[in-house]
Each structure stands twice: as structure tokens, then as C-alpha cells.
Amino acid sequence: MVLETQNNPNQEYYDVVIIGAGAAGLMCGIEAGNRGRKVLIIDHANRVGKKILISGGGRCNFTNLGASPDDYESQNPYFCISALKSYTPDDFIYLVDSHNIPYYEKKLGQLFCQGTSREIVNMLITECDRSGAKIELDCNVQEVQLLNRYHVTVNDRLIQSDSLVMATGGASIPQMGSTKFTYQIAQQFGVPVTEIRPGLVPLTFSGPRLEFCKNLAGLSIPSIVSSNSYQFEESILFTHKGISGPAILQISSHWREKKPITIDLLPHFDLLSHLKSERSLHPRSALTTLLSRQLPRNFVKALSGTYLPDRPINTLSDKHIDSVATKLKKWDLYPSGTEGYRTAEVSLGGVDTSNLSSRTMEANDIPGLYFIGEAVDVTGPLGGYNFQWAWASGFAAGQYV
């Protein structure tokens, strides 16, 4: 589409404008540029890929070897299949290898840079340069309109494009510059947005439970945590606000308010049989002494008296021992809430996928408008899955913008 005013020196024209210089936006820009499209990537931040830089403790857990469509949550669980099959973890690893970036598998298929996250950002910037995609920072988007083209007003200058890609991410970690801007643009153009809430986030408590957690702050225990028919085997970590750690972050995406989480503090260990055996072998040993051989001593001490009887095990009946085993193998807790977007790894929900093409990420009823990355209602678990969705959705859109 060419405007009669295209030669106006006060106006700028691009085939594609991408709002958001994060993982998805950069990938989309690279692919569109490689197709010969004239691309502009803009961001209100003063650095490219700010969330990439802080990810993985500064080492960037850039993908997961086992990432597959079955791992992702969405109101339409089939939506992510096309993109994730078109751009796999192996595809991104090939790109990383081509830049000679050393990496390692930490656990469970999680790949991290041996160096820093900056290597991934530099790789993406280099690829943008090679493809001709232009990046501009400190860009304040004042208005977006669809006339005969997309009209984007940035820092009081007008930029026009045939295609507009929204890649500003979700609302998580606002201190890094995250906003709900993509959701606002979606609603402006009549594209529905599902319920938005923090995901992969620590859980908080109040009252006596909070004091219990505070007293154990910094203590980590390998556990299985379950809620709402989901379960994850990782460590939990007590904090001054409640409980965090990988298992808690994972379950937080499935936990709902006023519902419990259940923690197995001794995974794959038959505590009931063990305690009955100990009662026969060491009848005068205190229950807390025996439990301290299986669990951290300060944790057992915190439980004693209130939650556990602090007396010799031979004074406990089968019923008492069964109760102790149940408390430690099926410890029910009722969180009061989460720490919110401030510490959430991702935003759950997003732009409704029923209004997007799963092949191209384009809005069904608005030609040239695309939504990619975290702002779309597709969320993966902890461990590189959400980066893989960013790469895959950005790649998908980049083939068509």
C-alpha cells in the first residue's frame, strides 16, 4: 500500500513497525528483515532486551530442550502448536552456536549461557543489523491509529507502516519497564484480552503462618507441591513474605485464591513405615530427633510443640504417627495471595488467541496487526519455556509481516 504523500520528508515509512525490543520483537524484526522488509523496532526503554539481561540470574535460561506445545497453558491449548513446531529449541540453539556462545544444561533441559545474558542480547542485535532491521530506544509511543496505513506517533514524529507488531510483553516486573500497553492496543482495536494475573510468582501468607515463614527465611527444602490437579517436584524456599522457590513459582500459575497448596516435604520416602520402624528400633528417641535426620533441624524445631509432639516416639500410638506422617507428606497451606507483578516471572492470560491466526499471529479481523510474545494468552512453565514461545511467536509473525 503506497500513499500519495509518501514523498513527504516530514513523514517516515516502513513496511513493518515493531513496538517492543524484547525477545519476541527482536526475533520478529530479524526474520522480517531477512525477507527484505524495511523494519523499525522501537522501545520506550533505554536498553535493548532488559528482561533478557536479568533472566536466569544474569545467565539467560534461553530455551528448554524439552519444550513442546503440551507444556503451555492457554484458553486455547492448540493455538501454540503451529509456531512452536515451526521454530523449535534446536533452531534457536543453532543460532546460538553460530555465534559461538557457550552454554550448558543446568537441569531438566534448561539451557543457560556460561557467560552472561548480554551475549544473547548482543547476538540478537547483531542479527538485526545483518537483516537491516533498525532499532530505536527511548521512544514514547503517543498514539496508534489505523487509517490507510498504521500511523504511530512517537516522540511527536509520525511513522507509518503497512504492518504493526505488538511485542511489549506482559505486566510482570514493572520496575524493568513492563506495561500493559499491548493489552491497551488490543482493546483499542477490538481484540479481546483474557483475565490477566501474575504467574510464576512467590506466594504470601498472613498471621501465624507468615511468622512461621519469617523464622525460616532462607531455608530451602526439596518437595513436591500440588494444587488444582497440578504438581511440581522442586525446592521450596521460605521468605519474609511467605514461600518461594522453583516448586512454588511453578504451582503459583495454577493456584487460585482461597484454595490450598499441598506440600510433600519428603518426596518418594515412606515416612509412615519409617517412623513405625524407628519406634521399634529406637523407642526412647524423641520424634523431633528422628525427623531431624530426614528434614532440616531448624524446620523440625519450628514445627515442634505446635504441629508435632515433642516426646519419645514410643509414647505415640499408630494414630499419632499416622497424623505426623500425613502432616509432613500432605502439608496443606492456604496462601493469602501472591507477591504480584513486582516479582512475577510472567503474566498469565493476555490477548485472546481466538482472535489471532495461530500460523501468523495476525489479528483475524484487523489486517496487518500482529501480537506476539508474553502478551498473548500462551504461558509456559519455569525453565526457558517462555523464551521459546517468544522466539517461536516472533519467528512466526516475521514470516508474514
pLDDT in tens, 258-310: 999 999 999 999 999 999 999 999 999 999 999 999 999 999 999 986 778 88
Locate 278 and state its grid cell: 524407628
Closest CA to 201 of 395, 360, 338: 338
Handedness of CA 144, 148, 149, 154 (dihedral sign): negative
List phi, psi (to 5°) of 312.
Answer: -55, 145
Could you give the CA distance from residue 46 to residue 20 in angstroms, rounded to a whole number?
12
Average pLDDT over residues 162-170: 96
On the question of pLDDT at 9 being above 70, the answer is no
Quickly tell me which residue has 532486551 as its cell: 49
**CATH 2.40.30.10 at 199-266+333-338, yes or no:** yes
Question: Does residue 193 come out as left (phi exceeding 0), alpha (psi in the -120 to 50 range) or beta?
Answer: beta
- In CATH terms, the superfamily for domain 12-195+347-398 is FAD/NAD(P)-binding domain (3.50.50.60)
Locate 42 and state its grid cell: 522501537
**Residue 310: what pLDDT?**
83
Q: pLDDT over 70 for what percent of the chain?
A: 97
**pLDDT tens digits along 330-343:** 999 999 999 999 99
**Residue 321: what pLDDT?**
94
Closest CA to 232 of 253, 247, 215: 247
Instruction: Label residue 178 by pLDDT band (50, 70, 90).
Output: confident
Instruction: Label residue 235 by pLDDT band (50, 70, 90).
Output: very high
On the question of pLDDT at 1 being above 70, the answer is no
Which burial class, exposed, middle or buried, applies to 185 when counting CB atoms under 10 A from its CB (0-12, 13-18, 19+)? buried
On the question of pLDDT at 35 being above 90, the answer is yes
On the question of pLDDT at 217 being above 50, the answer is yes
Locate 83 and state its grid cell: 509456531
Could you give the CA distance from residue 232 to residue 251 in angstroms, rounded to a whole number?
7
Could you give the CA distance from residue 43 to residue 36 in angstroms, rounded to a whole number?
22
Could you give the CA distance from residue 23 to residue 125 in angstroms, rounded to a whole number?
11
**pLDDT tens digits along 64-118:** 999 999 999 999 999 999 999 999 999 999 999 999 999 999 989 999 999 999 9
**Residue 4: what pLDDT?**
30
Could you give the CA distance from residue 287 to residue 316 in angstroms, rounded to a whole number?
9
Instruction: Label residue 2 by pLDDT band (50, 70, 90).
Output: very low
Could you give the CA distance from residue 32 to residue 19 in angstroms, rounded to a whole number?
14
3-state helix/strand/coil string of the chain: CCCCCCCCCCCEEEEEEEECCCHHHHHHHHHHHHCCCCEEEECCCCCCCHHHHHHHHHCCEEEECCCCHHHCECCCCCCCHHHHHHCCHHHHHHHHHHCCCCEEECCCCEEEECCCCHHHHHHHHHHHHHHCCEEECCCCEEEEEECCCEEEEECCEEEEEEEEEECCCCCCCHHHCCCCHHHHHHHHCCCCECCCEEECCCEECCHHHHHHHHHCCCCEEEEEEEECCEEEEEEEEECCCEEECHHHHHHHCCCCCCCCEEEECCCCCCHHHHHHHHHHHCCCCEHHHHHCCCCCHHHHHHHECCCECCCEHHHCCHHHHHHHHHHHHCEEECCCEECCCCCCCEEECCECHHHECCCCCEECCCCCEEECHHHECCECCCCCHHHHHHHHHHHHHHCCC
Average pLDDT over residues 353-363: 98
Could you give the CA distance from residue 333 to residue 326 in angstroms, rounded to a whole number?
13
**Residue 8: what pLDDT?**
52
**Residue 322: what pLDDT?**
95
Q: Is there a contact between 187 and 196 (Cβ–Cβ < 8 Å)?
A: no
Closest CA to 230 of 197, 276, 195, 262: 262
Average pLDDT over residues 343-370: 97
Q: pLDDT over 90 for what percent of the chain?
A: 92
**Residue 188: what pLDDT?**
97
Locate 351 and state its grid cell: 490477548
Instruction: Label residue 209 by pLDDT band (50, 70, 90).
Output: very high
Q: Is there a contact between 196 and 378 (Cβ–Cβ < 8 Å)?
A: no
pTM of the model: 0.92
**Residue 308: what pLDDT?**
85
Instruction: Label residue 313 by pLDDT band (50, 70, 90).
Output: very high
